[in-house]
């Protein structure tokens, strides 16, 4: 079974600061997705990256897929209190229909 490790597990920062969340594995994935989850709700997709080295931007969020398709990062510029939540990465297991989820990063942005 493939594993995805996320770091850090918890992050508490002030509004306006920048941060990066990492998602690492020793296995290759066919795609990498990032989700955000609010309390009492299911995860909601932020982005999907498919090609090694791919970079996608979503307003203040920048997502990167590693060249070898084994890792990914999420960078948030000038964090806002609305960015607070649980961030999850999920890798598509090649040749299957399975998605493997990372352990999650709980972000709290303080006003």
Partner 1 sequence: NAGVTQTPKFQVLKTGQSMTLQCAQDMNHEYMSWYRQDPGMGLRLIHYSVGAGITDQGEVPNGYNVSRSTTEDFPLRLLSAAPSQTSVYFCASSYSGNNSPLHFGNGTRLTVT
- Those residues with Cβ within 8 angstroms of residue 53's Cβ, 6 or more apart along the chain or in another chain: 64, 65, 66, 67
Within residues 51-80, the interface with partner 1 by CB under 8 A covers: none
Going from the C-alpha of 69 to that of each of 13, 51, 93, 100, the distances in angstroms are 29, 7, 11, 14
Q: Measured in whole angstroms, how far is the alpha carbon of residue 63 from the centre of its chain?
A: 8
Query: Closest separation between CB of residue 109 and partner 1, Å?
Result: 21
Which of 61, 76, 92, 109 lies at the binding interface for partner 1 (CB under 8 A)?
92
- Cα 29 to its chain centre, rounded Å, is 14
For partner 1, the binding residue among 12, 18, 26, 30 (CB under 8 A) is 30
Segment contacting partner 1 by CB under 8 A, of 53-61, 64-72, 77-85, 96-104: 96-104
Stretch that binds partner 1, among 56-64, 68-76, 77-85, 99-107 (CB under 8 A): 99-107
């Amino acid at each position: 079974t493939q594993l995805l490790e996320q770091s850090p597990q918890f992050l508490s920062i002030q509004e306006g600061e920048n941060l990066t969340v990492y998602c690492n594995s020793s296995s290759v994935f066919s795609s990498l997705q990032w989700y955000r989850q609010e309390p009492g709700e299911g995860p909601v997709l932020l982005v999907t990256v498919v090609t090694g080295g791919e970079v996608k931007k979503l307003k203040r969020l920048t997502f990167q897929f590693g060249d070898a398709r084994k890792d990914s990062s999420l960078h948030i510029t000038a964090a806002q209190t609305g960015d607070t939540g649980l961030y999850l990465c999920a890798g598509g297991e090649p040749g299957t229909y399975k998605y493997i989820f990372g352990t999650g990063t709980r972000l709290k942005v303080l006003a």
